[in-house]
Structure 1
Amino acid sequence: MIMFDQLTHRVVQAPMAGTSTPELAVAVCNAGGLGFVALGALDAQGAGRAIRAVRQGTGRTFGVNLFCHVPARRDARREAGWIDALRPVFHRFGAEPPDGLSEIYPSFRGNDDMLSVLLAERPDIVGCHFGLPAPDQIAALKAAGCKLWATATSVAEGRAIRQAGFDVIVAQGWEAGGHRGIFDPDGPDGRLDHAALVRALLPVGLPVVAAGAIMDRAAARAAMDAGAAAVQCGTAFLRAPEAATSAPHRAALSGGQTVMTRAISGRPARCLVNDFSGIDDAAAADYPLAYDIGKALNAAALARGHTGYGAFWAGTGAAVSVARPAAETVAAISP
């Protein structure tokens, strides 16, 4: 628990690829919380720059987060089918879909360049989403002195995290915004809320951080009463000036209605209801192949002034998010 004892406020800022920034992590850390910088959408050079930017802004403990998904299962027929399914939508905006799909976000598994950056920079905490790194990567990070965190959506995943030698489990409730951290997106999902998941994970024997629609002090206290060592908040920071949340995304938060969908990226993720979330996701290409064409569709729509195809990730508490500096959000949520 020592890493939590060092915090003035047991509020963890969720790493949100595309919206969380080094500036946001710095602001949270300097306010006495725990900031994270998302590396999943960055290459090794970009990751190094982001880590150094946080270090320049704060001397406090901070973390980084990586995607550890199984590489995409290539299926030419399925991919072509998904391109064809979205083709009429592209045509609405006078555009053509790409001819093929690419793995735009490589997994940390087997990513030697990213591992080299982490071993050189030695961030205090390395978090993992979608699964776990390879055993040799885990051993190298532990030898470098990094504390290891991983997201769990079930007790089985929590046990795997402990067996791998990790230090902390992030219990991601069904109500959480952004990508579901489930290891196998095609496997069973109990869809537990964060409080039930925290209670279920406590017997695993590691500190548990609660995540999922924690927007105020009352929710944070309830999570701590359930046994959480800290709370992780993402949606609560989306309106912070330090976040890179786009103007349309910020505006859409007030609507508050969210849905879990694979249509945007190929993996289940909770986003604000929009035109993209209304597309049937049953035949979506695998992650992150679907995200490749999803981004292309959003770009085509934006070129015509239409914002309904953005990846507006948010949890179920979106409607009560507040536009204020990150430091004020830390203080307002702190249990």
Structure 2
Amino acid sequence: MDLTKHLKLAVPLIQAPMAGVATPALAAAVSNAGGIGSIGVGATDAVGAHEMIVELRGRTDRAFNVNLFVHGNAKADPVREAAWLEGLAPLFSSFDAVLPAKLQTIYQSFDDDPDMLAMLLETAPPVISFHFGLPSADIIAALRARDIFLMATATSVEEAKAIEAAGLDAVVAQGIEAGGHRGMFDPAATDDALPMAVLTRLLVRHAGLPIISAGGIMDGAGIAAVLDLGASAAQLGTAFVACPESAADEAYRTALKGTGGYHTVMTSLISGRPARALANRFTALAGQLDGRLPPDYPIAYDAGKALHAAARARGEHGFAAQWAGQGAPLAREMPAAQLVDVLRVELERCRAGRRPLLPAAP
């Protein structure tokens, strides 16, 4: 399949969903400029997701992507959760905040959310992508019957083969460089931590589906490189965080331009699943927690969000989930449509055999 022609792309680019950061305005701007804009709805319910899709459709008549979390059910462990809260207690106290009495499972997996499925079958977004795993065969069949283009994240050849066997249309090859949550189906499994380029080549060889490369891609030269590796398109997330249409707050934007961008960290402390973030006070907590393990995702995220809220109320922004990939220092501040145009020019320059332009320093 020629992904560019099938999805009517002017540039082989998908903006990563980035739940909590990617707004309908951002996604629409990317789609209108010739890429595929995305929204992540894993952190909301069917009503919230419906509102986002309606707003997005009101801003663009082009294809867009709706991303869903398909994580396994969190296993409640009161002893582990109590120990985790005990470890965080001094921090809450330092911000004069009340420690949560109990942690909740704050996000529902798409595989267990019939209301979300019903809403998606009704609205039929052009593209749907899955992260953390795959929904049931019945759900996939129902979505395919609505002529929705389906894709899912893979961090390994085995996961890509499972995506192909499930009958999806494309694979997002997430390298270890990528910002945000690792898309591993099983977070307890050994992670080979394959870089984007190696994973792309492996999936081009072993998977029979179009490959969309993700991880550390920030400019047109990066897009050109993954196309040369055999990918059909590139997915960029961190590159769009600094755009005015994103929901990133001022502290996030400032941190993206700071030294933390050169030292991103893979951590499970914030949410309970491995995720790459800008280095900040939260990512540095491991040494203060006496070897405690965070509760399962998304139970641990309940604590992480509460700690961030307590700190922010006191003017401290170092406990935010500031997701970013290893290409963070290459981020550029400009409207999303302008960034897509810049990426297109950079890509065309590289494809014409000319030396790639260096992105301007932030």
Q: Could you say which TM-score interval applies, normalised by the shorter chain? A: over 0.9
Partner of 1:137: 139
State whether residues 110 and 134 of structure 1, in contact with CA within 8 Å, keep that contact through their aligned partners in structure 2: no
Q: Secondary structure at the match of 2:285?
A: coil
Residue deviations 1:237-286, cap 9 Å, x none? 00001100111000001121200000000000000000000111751111
Aligned positions of 1:136-285 closer than 5 A: 136-202=138-204, 203-254=206-257, 255=259, 256=261, 257-280=263-286, 283-285=293-295
Output one character per residue of 1:175-198: Cα deviation in whole Å (capped at 9) or x when no partner: 000001011111011111111101
Structure 2 residue aligned with 1:330, among 325, 332, 340? 340
Q: Verify the 8 A CA contact 2:83 2:292 in the aligned structure 1.
A: no
- Aligned residue number for residue 65 of structure 2: 63
Structure-1 separation of matches of 2:161 and 2:188 = 19
Tell me, yes or no, if structure 1 residue 78 matches structure 2 residue 80. yes
Query: Match for 2:294: what amino acid?
Result: A
Q: Aligned equivalents of 2:334 and 2:89: distance in 1?
A: 40
SS in 2 for 1:253: helix
**What letter corresponds to residue 4 of structure 1 in structure 2?**
T
Moved over 4 A (4+): none
Q: Decide which moves more: 143-152 or 280-289.
A: 280-289
Letter in 2 for 1:277: T
1:295 aligns with 2:298: no
Matches of 2:129 and 2:241 in 1, distance apart? 20
Unaligned runs of 5+ in 1: none
Q: Tell me the amino acid that sits aligned with residue 94 of structure 1.
A: D
Contact 2:280 2:319 in 1 (8 A): yes
| In structure 2, distance between residues paired with 1:145 and 1:54 | 19
Query: Could you report, residue by residue, the CA deviation over 1:100-145 in whole angstroms, capped at 9, with x for unpaired residues?
Result: 1111111001210000000000001110000001111111101111
The number of aligned residues is: 335
* Cα gap change, 1:12 to 1:282, in 2 (>3 Å): farther
Q: Which residue matches 1:16?
A: 18
**Offset at 1:170?**
0.1
Provide the TM-score with structure 2 as the length reference: 0.91
Inter-partner Cα distance in structure 1 for 2:309 and 2:112: 30
Name the Cα RMSD after superposition: 1.0
Kindly indicate whether residue 120 of structure 2 is the aligned counterpart of residue 124 of structure 1: no
Shift of 1:332: 2.3
| Deviation (angstroms), 1:331 | 2.0
The reply on whether 1:30 has 2:32 as its aligned counterpart is: yes
User: Is the contact between residue 87 and residue 292 of structure 2 (CA under 8 Å) also seen in structure 1?
Assistant: no
Q: Letter of the aligned partner of 2:120 in structure 1?
A: L
User: Identity rate of aligned residues, in percent?
Assistant: 50
Structure 2 Cα separation of the partners of residues 96 and 48 of structure 1: 34
Matching residue within 53, 75, 78 for 1:51: 53
Q: How far apart are the structure 1 equivalents of 2:47 and 2:82?
A: 32
The Cα shift of 1:2 comes to 4.4
Q: TM-score, normalised by structure 1?
A: 0.98
Counterpart Cα distance in 2 of 1:283 and 1:307: 23
| Paired residue secondary structure (1:109) | helix
Aligned partner (choices 105, 108, 112) of residue 107 of structure 2: 105
Match for 1:130: what amino acid?
F
Unaligned runs of 5+ in 2: 348-362
Tell me the distance in 2 between the aligned counterparts of 1:333 and 1:208: 19
Q: Is the 8 Å Cα contact of residues 101 and 290 (structure 1) preserved in structure 2?
A: yes
Does the CA contact (< 8 Å) of 1:172 and 1:212 recur in 2? yes
In the alignment, what sits opposite 1:309? Answer: 319
Matches of 1:282 and 1:75, distance apart in 2:
13
Helix, strand or coil for the counterpart of 1:299?
helix
